[in-house]
């Protein structure tokens, strides 16, 4: 089993960007431009590597290879984006890889693009890319409509993956670090599946009726050094048996103080005797419905509040309270057919980021994560 942290270190240490590997400071999948850039690189790496994995590493400063990290990204539907815009789409996997020197809420994103024989090309337009366009790698660049060159990357990539495989020392060190250092202030635990796979988790437990919910949750599959789940907001239940580890995520939604926990998504890891495992997500969320008149009032009030931020007006105490709820109430409006609410919230991103109270921007990021999963609007974008 490949240790993804070692894989990233080996890519950074031994290779500059090339025909099988690219690195980025961050991805921006909120905008058409950001999605187009991501899809371009996936298309190019796939076409130039029909016989081996290729990689896109996110959270790296381009010039000096400094590991700066990026936000945890757990969109299980990122494959849908690739499938929606590319013919002959490659299979891709996005994984969140923790590094010891990064803040707890930062990871390095690893996109693995699996080999495939077909030539990937765009089947519909996005941003400035037109239908029929395909990309290939020339050195560290993704070039449009250049016939893919035969490459000799297979042996190189296989050797990098081989030296990145786990050993017992890595696994034990990682478990001890997770329990005794990273989460020494919280309840933490681990479980071994099939005498091989180690899952560690930490969080603050709270019993509500007959269920134990965890907040500030961090869950890692130690063998591969990947974060399975990370959130400072959500309520999560954790269950396991001899074959499966089950994460059920709930989100707390409501207006004012009338809030309820809604089942959001379930992730099931199934471990097999042959040393393999699968991860399957199932969306559980049914958005709550509210009175349209009430929501119209809230929506208009939110727009006025955003305009106050835009004009640098002083906010009252009431405005400050409403601001902490603004991302969530805009999401509720959007899920209740106020279609412009999502676009208005995205437009306000930099304004919310500049607010002194960090809770506001953290709430924005959490809301965007939820909306990305609930309504992945690739057909519109």
Q: Across residues 348-364, what is the average pLDDT?
A: 92
Whether 247 contacts 219, CB under 8 Å: yes
Q: At what angle do helices 4-14 and 153-163 cross, to 10 degrees?
A: 130
Q: Between these two residues, 329 and 207, which has the higher pLDDT value?
A: 329
Q: Across residues 59-86, what is the average pLDDT?
A: 87
**pLDDT tens for each residue of 111-148:** 999 998 889 999 999 999 999 999 998 888 888 988 87
Q: How confident is the model at residue 171 (pLDDT cuts 50, 70, 90)?
A: confident
Question: Is the predicted pLDDT of residue 379 greater than 60, yes or no?
Answer: no
**pLDDT tens for each residue of 214-232:** 888 999 999 888 999 888 7
Q: Across residues 316-322, what is the average pLDDT?
A: 92
Question: Is the predicted pLDDT of residue 15 greater than 70, yes or no?
Answer: no
Q: Across residues 17-23, what is the average pLDDT?
A: 87
**pLDDT tens for each residue of 227-269:** 998 887 678 999 999 999 999 999 888 887 778 889 999 999 9
Q: Across residues 190-213, what is the average pLDDT?
A: 89
Whether 262 contacts 251, CB under 8 Å: yes
For the chain, what percent of residues have pLDDT higher than 70?
97
For the chain, what percent of residues have pLDDT higher than 90?
57
pLDDT score at 150:
62
Q: Between these two residues, 166 and 366, which has the higher pLDDT value?
A: 366
**pLDDT tens for each residue of 74-86:** 776 789 899 999 9
Q: What is the rounded average pLDDT for all residues in the chain?
A: 89
Q: How confident is the model at residue 380 (pLDDT cuts 50, 70, 90)?
A: very low
Cβ-based neighbour number of residue 2 at 10 Å: 18
Whether 23 contacts 60, CB under 8 Å: yes
Question: Is the predicted pLDDT of residue 1 greater than 70, yes or no?
Answer: yes
pLDDT score at 376:
54
pLDDT score at 47:
93
For the record, the structure tokens of 252 come out as 């707390």
Instruction: Give the CA distances from residue 379 to residues 82, 196, 371, in Å, rounded to whole numbers and listed in that order.
Output: 12, 42, 15
Compute the radius of gyration of the chain from its Cα atoms.
22
Nearest residue to 202 (alpha-carbon basis) of 224, 180, 223: 180
């Amino acid at each position: 089993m490949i240790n993804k942290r070692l894989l990233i270190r080996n890519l950074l240490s031994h290779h500059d960007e090339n025909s099988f590997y690219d690195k980025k400071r961050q991805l921006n999948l909120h905008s058409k431009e950001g999605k187009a850039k991501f899809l371009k690189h996936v298309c190019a790496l796939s076409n130039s590597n029909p016989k081996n994995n290729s990689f896109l590493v996110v959270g790296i400063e381009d010039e000096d290879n400094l590991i700066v990290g990026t936000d945890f990204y757990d969109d299980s539907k990122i494959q849908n984006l690739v499938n929606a815009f590319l013919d002959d789409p490659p299979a891709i996997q996005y994984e969140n890889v923790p590094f010891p020197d990064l803040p707890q809420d930062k990871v390095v994103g690893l996109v693995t693009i699996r080999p495939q024989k077909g030539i990937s090309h765009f089947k519909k337009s996005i941003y400035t890319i037109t239908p029929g366009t395909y990309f290939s790698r020339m050195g560290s660049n993704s070039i449009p409509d250049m016939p893919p060159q035969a490459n000799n990357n297979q042996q190189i990539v296989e050797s990098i993956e081989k030296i990145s495989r786990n050993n017992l020392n890595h696994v034990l060190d990682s478990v001890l670090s997770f329990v005794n250092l990273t989460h020494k202030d919280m309840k933490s635990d681990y479980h071994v599946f099939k005498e091989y796979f180690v899952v560690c988790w930490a969080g603050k437990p709270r019993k509500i009726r007959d269920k134990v919910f965890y907040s500030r949750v961090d869950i890692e599959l130690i063998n591969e050094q990947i974060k399975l789940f990370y959130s400072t907001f959500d309520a999560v239940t954790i269950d396991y048996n001899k074959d499966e580890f089950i994460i059920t995520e709930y989100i707390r939604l409501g207006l004012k103080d009338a809030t309820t926990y809604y089942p959001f998504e379930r992730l099931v890891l199934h471990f097999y005797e042959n040393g393999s495992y699968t991860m399957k997500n199932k969306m559980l969320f049914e958005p709550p419905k509210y009175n349209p008149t009430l929501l119209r009032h809230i929506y208009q009030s939110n727009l006025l509040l955003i305009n106050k931020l835009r004009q640098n007006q002083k906010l009252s105490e009431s405005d400050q309270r409403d601001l902490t709820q603004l991302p969530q109430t805009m999401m509720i409006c959007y899920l209740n057919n106020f279609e412009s609410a999502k676009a208005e919230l995205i437009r306000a991103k930099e304004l919310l980021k500049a607010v002194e109270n960090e809770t506001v921007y953290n709430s924005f990021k959490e809301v965007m994560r939820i909306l990305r999963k609930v309504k992945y609007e690739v057909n519109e974008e």
